[in-house]
Chain A
Amino acid sequence: MDRLIVPVLSLVVAIAFYAYKAHRSRGAAPARTPRPAGRGKQSAGSVRLGFVPPERLDADRDQPADPRDGAVRAAVRAGDWQAAATYLAEAGGDWQERYHRAGQLAAEAAKDDAWLLAWRQAHPHDPGAALVNADALIDLAWAIRGNGLGSTVGEESARRFHEVLHRARQACAEAQALGGGDPSPYIVEMALAMGLGYPHERMRELWAETEKRDPYHLGAYTRALQYWCAKWRGSHEESFAFAATAASRAYPGSLLTLLPLYAHFEYETSQDDLDPDEYYKRPEIVAAVDACLADVAAAPPHNRRVPQVRHFLAWCLYWQDRYPEAVEQFRLIDGYAGATPWDYASDPVKRYTEIRDYCADRVVEAGV
């Protein structure tokens, strides 16, 4: 009889634990998550406020496409590399803009690089072409690998992925040597720091070179934060510390107050037993959201980096039960769901719609 005690007891504990988990997952967080309207269905409140129906939401971008991006991509597809050179040159010393434009060209070059080869043949030492080349190789590597978990990547694909990443590393070095005051080649290399697992020392060197060239580059901060996250090469402590440094440097309109929100979001999604409904209401996160709201308000209206911040604010305001303020953000970003935090869900459009519509319904109810 004695022998039975241990197995029976462990069975009881296992059942109790399972029941507890089931209760929690049914009771706590999802009770907050609005009743899913089902894909393609929109809540009454959301319709009333004039939000875009889910089937018309753009899942690929966080804001309307810039027609200039589309034009230059069409031009290079037709082989006109001069258009690319001009487009990059026009960004001048606005490094954040140059980084964005290089990214657009790289996405095109990762698919077909005939124009880039021609450009580099004509101007072997062009810093812009070198930058696009480095960035495109990283895109290419990920296109070969696919976005699945490591275990889903085939052996041959994994080999090609690493080969291309190593070529990208050489390409980054080349672009950095030619780049002068442009931080972009260093920021591009941060993707390698994540993928190839650079030691912290090397990452700090990259960061020092970046910061020296542009201390307020939002894209640099968000990418470096990814490196310092526990899921990549850092820890929760390191990511919070990095985000705090960024926030301490922020001036109104710099948008660097986004970083603490990002770090909290990464932490919350990495913790299974954290209740977001409680977590985001902590005073320091409420204060961080307030700071970020002020920061965004001070940014120039056509700054293309503002929407990504608003997507984040909408998410945080929702969990903080600040529905009117959340709806205000949704009004300014609606139509586009291709942004973090939505893209951490398996169906970003669904996640976006659920939360937007929940907020809209509360606002409409309160107004009645």
Chain B
Amino acid sequence: MPAVRAFLLLAGFYLLGVVVLGVLVGADVAIFAADVPGSAAVKLYVVSVLLAIPLVQGMLALRTPKDEGGDGLVLTEERQPELWHTVRTLAEQAGTPAPDELVLTGDVNASVTENARLLGLLPGPRRMRIGAPLLVGLNEPQLHAVLGHELGHFSNADTRLSQLTLRGRYTVSRTIQAFHDRADKAAGRELAKQEKRNTKLTAKGKKAKAVDAGIAGFSYRLMAKPFIGYAHFYLRVTLKDGRAQELAADRIAAKIAGRDVTASALRQIPVLDAAYGFYMESYATLGTGAGLLPPPGEVFGGLRHLLAARGEELARLRAGAPREELSPYDSHPPIADRVALLGQLPDDGRGLPPARPAIAVLRDPARVLAELEDAVLTAEARGLERVDWGQLVHRSLRTYVDRGAEPLRTATAEVTGGPGTLDALLWAVDNGQQWAVVDKLPKSAEAASATGRAAREFARPRLRSGLKSLTVLALVDAQQAWWELAWHTEAVLRLPQGYEQRLDKALDAAVSDTPNTGPLRTMLPQSAPAL
């Protein structure tokens, strides 16, 4: 029964395309029959053809876009025999053929995709993707559970009837994505065209028009609408089957890897996802603005340092019920529900055995992770200088602080007519010119609308942070201060003994309404105690 329904729903999706096209053709016939005068009729024909173009393209898009791969590092059986052996065993246990290709990616995700044939009705070659963060953040049995789940989607053990639904859902989701991609591309092309024209107009001294993505992307989006509407309907109707499918895949994973291990993997993944996002933002790409990357292999591999140093924090996250916004179309039931359902399975007595990290399944993991960088990083990123973690943190932060202080240096130079140094700024403070200096810095709208004494209150914290940056830079450049990498917390600025409190007080004194720069001056390198 679900299979018939799934087939009808999928067929309806294609039918919709034919109907909409038919309406357009019918409209043209009506125009012809109504004997509309020549030029107007031609215009209407042109409009209908323009509207039909994206539709026809959309119909073509209904052929599921092919998964071209290319978003990761292909792991051949020859070089990774143990991994391949593992996957083959898992596929066998799941009762489905092994994938034809294994790809290592940089995402916190594993998936199996299939380039299905005949409008998604027949199976095709399969590709399994494994995210490197999973290898770093899961242990071996947990990885088995995750891969077992993905393979379980294709298993014919107890889900034979839902196969068509699953493939249909997949096809429909991909189609909508393709529509959006086309619309975005069209809008992008139109923007580029208009900008070019505006550049020419401006060059001739004419007023440029506002750039507008306009009708180009719009006609695609308009055409996509009925399809998206239908797709939402489709997804909603088949949701129950989709969720049942996920739970069935969980059961297969539990059979393969053990009930408790599967539950622990489910709980670990959202935590790993959060940790990885944070790691990428705050560690791996911290230095990109300063032209720096961690050593080869560490861009993805460095996650292990963070996981090791923040064990307690992560354990707390795991213990708390994972809170997730659930889309009404998401086929995945909430993780808490999935874990609870696993808990209802009979105890298989396998528990949580001690296990080695999942990455141990790779041969020469350091080199693999380095090759993954070559495969997924942009050429630009690959061109960055590689430095060790300690250097990365120190040098990036120095660069950023230095860059942040630049506007203040410029403003100081402008107001005092001399060099934009810390010395010159302190001199300006002593002479009551500090507010004039800060006034030259770019302001927020709120700060700009303040006048008189209120304006000074907006300026005060900016002067304070500017003075602090310049002071810290002076100390850093005299090698009396540095930024220290810490995996368990954010980078720490190391100052000479007792400087932290003194600096706060000295800065307060320097930015007060009756300023005193004396305390700050005594902290500067020439008089600071050597380390």
In the complex, which residue of chain A has the Cβ closest to the Cβ of B444? A156
Contact indicator per residue, chain A 112-142, by CB within 8 Å of chain B (1) or not (0): 1100010001000000000000000000100
B446 interface residue per 8 A CB criterion: yes
Which among B445, B458, B514 is the interface contact of A160 at CB below 8 angstroms? B458
> Are the C-beta atoms of A112 and B452 separated by less than 8 Å?
yes
> Are the C-beta atoms of A157 and B446 separated by less than 8 Å?
yes
| Alpha-carbon distance between A266 and B194 when the two chains are bound, in angstroms | 60
| A111-B452, A117-B513, A121-B514 known; A156 vs B457 contact (CB < 8 Å) | no
| Alpha-carbon distance between A140 and B513 when the two chains are bound, in angstroms | 14
| Alpha-carbon distance between A164 and B458 when the two chains are bound, in angstroms | 11
Interfacial chain B residues near A156, Cβ < 8 Å: 444, 446-447, 458
Contact indicator per residue, chain A 218-258, by CB within 8 Å of chain B (1) or not (0): 00000000000000000000000000000000000000000
> Are the C-beta atoms of A164 and B447 separated by less than 8 Å?
no
B450 interface residue per 8 A CB criterion: yes
Most buried by A among B445, B446, B453: B453
Most buried by A among B450, B457, B458, B514: B457
| A154-B446, A156-B446, A156-B458 known; A112 vs B453 contact (CB < 8 Å) | yes
Interfacial chain A residues near B444, Cβ < 8 Å: 154, 156
Interfacial chain B residues near A110, Cβ < 8 Å: 453
A143 interface residue per 8 A CB criterion: yes
> Are the C-beta atoms of A113 and B458 separated by less than 8 Å?
no
B454 interface residue per 8 A CB criterion: yes
Interfacial chain A residues near B514, Cβ < 8 Å: 117, 121
> Are the C-beta atoms of A160 and B452 separated by less than 8 Å?
no
Interfacial chain A residues near B447, Cβ < 8 Å: 156
Most buried by A among B445, B446, B454, B458: B454
> Are the C-beta atoms of B446 and A140 separated by less than 8 Å?
no
Interfacial chain B residues near A164, Cβ < 8 Å: 457
| Alpha-carbon distance between A96 and B444 when the two chains are bound, in angstroms | 41
A163 interface residue per 8 A CB criterion: yes
| Alpha-carbon distance between A160 and B513 when the two chains are bound, in angstroms | 15
Looking at the assembled complex, report how far the CB atom of A146 sits from the nearest CB atom of chain B, in whole angstroms.
9
| A113-B513, A121-B514 known; A160 vs B453 contact (CB < 8 Å) | no
Interfacial chain B residues near A121, Cβ < 8 Å: 514
Interfacial chain B residues near A109, Cβ < 8 Å: 453
> Are the C-beta atoms of A113 and B453 separated by less than 8 Å?
yes
Interfacial chain A residues near B513, Cβ < 8 Å: 113, 117
In the complex, which residue of chain B has the Cβ closest to the Cβ of A161? B457
| Alpha-carbon distance between A140 and B453 when the two chains are bound, in angstroms | 7
Looking at the assembled complex, report how far the CB atom of B452 sits from the nearest CB atom of chain A, in whole angstroms.
5
30 A-B contacts, Cβ less than 8 Å apart?
A: A109-B453, A110-B453, A111-B452, A112-B452, A112-B453, A113-B453, A113-B513, A117-B513, A117-B514, A121-B514, A140-B453, A140-B454, A140-B457, A143-B453, A144-B450, A144-B454, A144-B457, A144-B458, A154-B444, A154-B446, A156-B444, A156-B446, A156-B447, A156-B458, A157-B446, A160-B457, A160-B458, A160-B461, A163-B457, A163-B461
Contacts A156-B444, A156-B458, A160-B458 supplied; 18 other A-B pairs, CB < 8 Å: A111-B452, A111-B453, A112-B452, A117-B513, A117-B514, A140-B453, A140-B454, A140-B457, A143-B453, A143-B454, A144-B454, A144-B458, A154-B444, A154-B446, A156-B447, A157-B446, A163-B457, A164-B457
